[in-house]
Amino acid sequence: MVGITGYGAYVPRLRLSRQAVYDANKWFAPGLRGQAKGERAMANWDEDSITMGVEAARDCLNGTDPKSLRNLFFASTTLPFKDRQNAGVIATALTVEEGLMASDVAGSQKAGTSALISGLTAAKAGGPTMVVAAEKRSTRVASANEMQFGDAAAAMLCGTDKVIAKLVGHRSVSMDFVDHFRGEESDFDYTWEERWIRDEGYAKIVPPAIKAALAAANLKGADINHFIMPALMAAIPKQMAKMSGVAEAAVRDNLGANLGDSGAAHALVVLAHTLESAKAGERIMVLAFGQGLDVVILEVTDEITKLSKRRGVSGWLARGKVETNYMKFLAFNDMLPIDKGMRAEFDKKTAQSVLWRKRDMIYGLVGGKCRVCGTAQFPKSQVCVNPNCHAIDSQDPYPMAGLEAAVMSFTADSLTYSPDPPAYYGMITFPEGGRFMADFTDSDKEQVKVGAKMRMTFRIRDNDQMRGGFKRYFWKAAPA
């Protein structure tokens, strides 16, 4: 039996107030008024699809040994790198074994579900498979998409052992129906008329595919307890459910109120949210529409009651902070030619040879632990840092990303360049040993105190815009 063995999610802490978006843009687009309620998830300046994907995957692993993974699929239409495997960055950050098949899945709003189908198939053939989906889409100022979209990630662990939701069946159709597109020369979607998409797209493509999927699984629409279908038009999921004989009550909320639509990741985000409360025996249908349709039918098993607690969508949603500064949203998304000052000009060229040698340290936050004195330290070094030890070549790799740290000293620096000044940083210490001067993120004045507990999070450190946007990733400390 193959299926989902674990789930995880990630929602950035910031939630952009749609009222604030409307207030800033109503002079130009008064028609947005109807959408001016609730919030959309907004990535911090140091978050992208890779960093959010890493967080969702960590939430999903939640104690599972990353070295047990055999495959990793990463789905997104907003991959930070066009040529450099994005899934490989996530894999390194998770400290997987190098003998792993990693693959990026992109190009369509159904990339997330396509990756899930690939993941389930791969898991059936050979070992635990991580499926990660994340999205951070740029939108034009004062567009409907700016209101509708949200940044988020989800992860599904697929396998054959301790399955919490078994795969009942899946069906895909592929057709070049272009409801919207994003060409190579644009950062933004270009969308055709909604009425056409509804009548010629959804209404004609979705119900037959659902019908076929149900028939193959020997099920009826009424057998579906949770119907997951992301769509920007709010009425569509209910309409499709009705056309397919699925009860209206089964249609899952798309989290529009305080998250927004996370594109290629969204079906898995809503699936993760559904799994938080799904009961054994319930059937889940997951759909994603984009140049065709993916349909995945799952059945929840008893194992779900034994799954370890994770943050999930609800946990991350609960730590939100409403952002009412629309200018900040624009600046974070490079939509505002803000005066960064000369300190932003320092060269951020990365020596790839150094990054390669130190990949475990930089991407995995792997320190060292001395076999002689037991001292944990970061970075791992050849001579033990303990002043009473100084043993040579005595350290084993010691992963620290999952450990909680505490603030020893800190400052709020207004001099250094930061996209979100002042820059908070400080010395963090790990109770088991080890410390370093770390940048803080997702931090407010009230949260940063001596002794405050911090959680490590994988973030963008710099963006080398001189060389086409090489993102430097490293770990930062965020209030736990």
Partner 1 sequence: MAKGIKDKVAILGMGCSKFGERWDSGAEELMLEAFKECIADAGIDMKQLQAAWFSTAIDEVHVGKSGIPLSTTLRLPNIPVTHVENMCASGTEAFRGACYAVASGAVDFALALGVEKLKDTGYGGLPGGRGGPLQALWSANGTAPGNFAQLATAYQTAHGVSDEDLKRAIGHVSWKSHQNGAKNPKAHLQKAVDMETILKAPMIASPLGLFDCCGVSDGAAAAIVTTPEIAKALGKNNIVSVKALQLSVSNGSESGHNSWDGSYFHTTRIASKKAYEEAGIKDPRKEVSMFEVHDCFSVTELVTMEDLHISETGKGWKDVLDGFYDADGKIPCQIDGGLKCFGHPIGASGLRMLYEMYLQFQGRAGARQLKDPRIGMTHNLGGAPRENVSSISIVGRYDS
Query: Which residues are at the interface with partner 1 (CB under 8 A)?
Result: 341-343, 346-348, 350-351, 354-355, 358, 361-362, 375, 377-379, 381, 385-387, 408-418, 422-423, 425-427, 429-430, 433-439, 450, 461, 472, 474
Nearest-approach distance from CB 470 to partner 1, in angstroms: 12
| For partner 1, the closer CB: 249 or 351 | 351
* Residue 361 CA from chain centroid, whole number: 22
- For residues 32 and 142, is the Cβ–Cβ distance under 8 A? yes
Nearest-approach distance from CB 408 to partner 1, in angstroms: 6
| For partner 1, the closer CB: 100 or 361 | 361
- For residues 435 and 378, is the Cβ–Cβ distance under 8 A? yes
Nearest-approach distance from CB 29 to partner 1, in angstroms: 36
Long-range contacts of 357-360, Cβ-Cβ distance < 8 Å, separation of 24 or more: 359/92, 360/92, 360/95, 360/397
Nearest-approach distance from CB 400 to partner 1, in angstroms: 12
DSSP secondary structure letter of residue 392:
B
Nearest-approach distance from CB 438 to partner 1, in angstroms: 6
Q: How far apart are CA 53 and CA 473, in angstroms?
A: 13
Dihedral over Cα of 44, 48, 50, 56: its sign: positive
- For residues 57 and 91, is the Cβ–Cβ distance under 8 A? no
| For partner 1, the closer CB: 27 or 356 | 356
For the chain, what is the radius of gyration of the CA atoms?
Answer: 23
CB atoms within 10 A of CB 456: 21
φ, ψ of residue 228 in degrees (nearest 5): -110, 115
Nearest-approach distance from CB 270 to partner 1, in angstroms: 36
Nearest-approach distance from CB 104 to partner 1, in angstroms: 23
| For partner 1, the closer CB: 1 or 466 | 466
| For partner 1, the closer CB: 281 or 422 | 422
Q: How far apart are CA 172 and CA 162, in angstroms?
A: 26
Q: How far apart are CA 407 and CA 426, in angstroms?
A: 7
Q: How far apart are CA 43 and CA 460, in angstroms?
A: 11
Nearest-approach distance from CB 82 to partner 1, in angstroms: 22
| For partner 1, the closer CB: 435 or 455 | 435
Give me the residue label for tokens 């840092």. Answer: 385
| For partner 1, the closer CB: 188 or 436 | 436
Q: How far apart are CA 263 and CA 285, in angstroms?
A: 18
The closest alpha carbon to 128, from 136, 119, 137, belongs to 119
Q: What is the DSSP string of 111-122?
A: HHHHHHHHHHHH
The closest alpha carbon to 221, from 235, 207, 233, 231, belongs to 207
Nearest-approach distance from CB 362 to partner 1, in angstroms: 5
CB atoms within 10 A of CB 122: 21
Nearest-approach distance from CB 468 to partner 1, in angstroms: 18
Dihedral over Cα of 457, 45, 156, 224: its sign: positive
User: Nearest 5 degrees, angle CA 282-CA 286-CA 290?
Assistant: 170
**337 cis-preceded (ω within 30 degrees of 0):** no
Q: How far apart are CA 438 and CA 238, in angstroms?
A: 47
- For residues 211 and 244, is the Cβ–Cβ distance under 8 A? yes
| For partner 1, the closer CB: 310 or 476 | 476
| For partner 1, the closer CB: 100 or 362 | 362
Nearest-approach distance from CB 359 to partner 1, in angstroms: 10
| For partner 1, the closer CB: 326 or 410 | 410
Q: What is the DSSP string of 77-108?
A: SS-S-SSS-HHHHHHHHTT--SS-EEEEE-SS
Nearest-approach distance from CB 439 to partner 1, in angstroms: 5
| For partner 1, the closer CB: 189 or 439 | 439
| For partner 1, the closer CB: 53 or 433 | 433
